[in-house]
Structure 1
């Protein structure tokens, strides 16, 4: 048993995933209108809550941070460009029609389709990018059991 296995398990009551964005208003509109998420907090002068956060469920929030501020938080590391992906977010949908609907809503709201909905070895899935190039996969089959 190594040192990491010996310690008590840590329970995280809330996780916030932060993503860099080029345009707060465009990203706000995409996640509100395209994915139907409700932003948390009062609107700032530009009509967008600050900080810009969405509750995805009871313990998970998505925070969208302007690229300049994101660069400050990560200590001078390079912020990935729009055409670079360092992770893929996955959403579960109830069935194939729901997968197609989420992909279509994202596309209508300004996202781009990365992989059209269709059968995959692990289930039925499709993927889209938000306006800043962050990849979201929608699947009707749970990838990890």
Structure 2
């Protein structure tokens, strides 16, 4: 998975400190790994590409402007308490909570945008 970003250091700090993702690779001169990648889980790596260099990924298509969401990224957790904790940690690191955590028919979830406006939903399955 790859997302366009405006500021490498800001995004590095947000995903490391706000979401607790583990950076992959050795730091470059600015202290941020190049390429900027995070291990999300055992099977998923997130690459963050500066907006100016993201064109090669899109084949000439434009990136979505601020406030436009073409997809919602999901993070599953084990409990409602973990949903609350992830949202609180993300917000403290610069996220904007879009939808406060609430119970839904499919479980417990809330959404936030990262510093570049990418929309994330944090959810937990319904508790018996």
Match of 1:87 in 2: 71
Asked if residue 25 in structure 1 is aligned to residue 9 in structure 2, the reply is yes
Q: Root-mean-square deviation (CA), in Å? A: 1.1
The Cα shift of 1:87 comes to 0.8
Answer with 1 or 2: which has the greater Rg.
1
Relative to the length of structure 2, the TM-score reads: 0.94
Relative to the length of structure 1, the TM-score reads: 0.83
1:89-111 alpha-carbon deviations (Å, 9 max, x no partner): 11111111111110010000000
CA distance in 1, matches of 2:18, 2:99: 17
CA distance in 2, matches of 1:75, 1:96: 40
CA distance in 2, matches of 1:117, 1:74: 33
1:61-82 alpha-carbon deviations (Å, 9 max, x no partner): 0000000111232122111112
* Secondary structure of the structure 2 residue equivalent to 1:33: helix
Asked if residue 40 in structure 1 is aligned to residue 24 in structure 2, the reply is yes
Identify unmatched segments of 5+ residues in structure 2: none
Q: How many residues align?
A: 126
Where does structure 1 differ by over 6 angstroms across 4 or more consecutive aligned residues? none
CA distance in 2, matches of 1:71, 1:23: 16
Asked if residue 102 in structure 1 is aligned to residue 102 in structure 2, the reply is no
